[in-house]
């Protein structure tokens, strides 16, 4: 139905700061580097800040979902990204090689496909984790279903489920 091509504000070489309407969720795909996400009950839009490596990322909104996609192999990527998202936004992360930190509480779904790295989160609704190479996932609280699969080496820590 809907497809938007976005013109991005680039405050500096290789950086992005932009806000998006994404009521159906956020997808981060093929990202290499560190990602920090803050879930906020005050946020109405998704705010994306990429300090370095922005020239290797594509951002678009389609059918209410914001997709942030890396163009290169995430193993060689070095992107530093910060997102602020509405508290109950569903979040899908696929092909991450790096560390992901998610602050704030949410009843939204979190789905992570981790190549390698570490993931930490506070409270999530449902959680699905797939570790392909190596990594660890630490979540304080999972309110809904929990799925965990390791194809390489990995560990999961949940304080309360």
> pLDDT tens-digit profile of 92-104?
999 999 999 999 9
In whole angstroms, how far apart are CA 147 and each of 53, 91, 100, 108? 32, 15, 18, 15
Q: What's the pLDDT band for 7 if we cut at 50, 70, 90?
A: very low
Length of the chain: 161
> Does residue 39 surpass a pLDDT of 60?
yes
What is the per-residue pLDDT across 121-156, written as a single tens digit (0 to 9) for each?
Answer: 999 999 999 999 999 999 999 999 999 999 999 999
Q: What is the DSSP letter of 7?
A: P
Q: Do 158 and 142 touch, CB atoms closer than 8 A?
A: yes
What pLDDT shows up at residue 2?
46
> What is the pTM assigned to this prediction?
0.88
Bridge-partner residues for 27, per DSSP?
67, 92
In this structure, the strands spanning 100-105 and 16-20 are unpaired
- The pLDDT confidence band at residue 12, using thresholds 50, 70 and 90, is very low
Q: Which residues contact 60 (CB under 8 A, 6 or more apart)?
A: 3, 4, 5, 6, 66, 67
> Over the stretch 68-86, which tens digit does the pLDDT of each residue have?
999 888 877 788 899 999 9
């Amino acid at each position: 139905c809907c497809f938007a091509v976005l013109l991005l504000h680039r405050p500096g070489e290789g950086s992005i700061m932009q806000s998006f309407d994404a009521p159906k969720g956020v997808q981060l795909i093929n990202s290499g580097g560190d990602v920090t996400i803050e879930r906020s009950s005050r946020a109405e839009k998704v705010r994306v800040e990429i300090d370095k490596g922005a020239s290797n990322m594509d951002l678009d909104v389609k059918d209410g979902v914001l997709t942030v996609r890396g163009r290169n192999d995430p193993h060689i990527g070095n992107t530093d990204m910060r997102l602020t998202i509405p508290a109950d936004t569903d979040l899908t992360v696929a092909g991450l090689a790096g560390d992901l930190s998610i602050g704030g509480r949410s009843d939204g779904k979190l789905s992570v496909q981790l190549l390698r790295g570490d993931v930490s989160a506070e409270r999530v609704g449902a959680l699905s984790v797939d570790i392909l190479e190596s990594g660890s996932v630490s979540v304080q609280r999972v309110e809904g279903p929990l799925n965990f699969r390791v194809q390489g080496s990995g560990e999961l820590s949940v304080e309360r489920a």
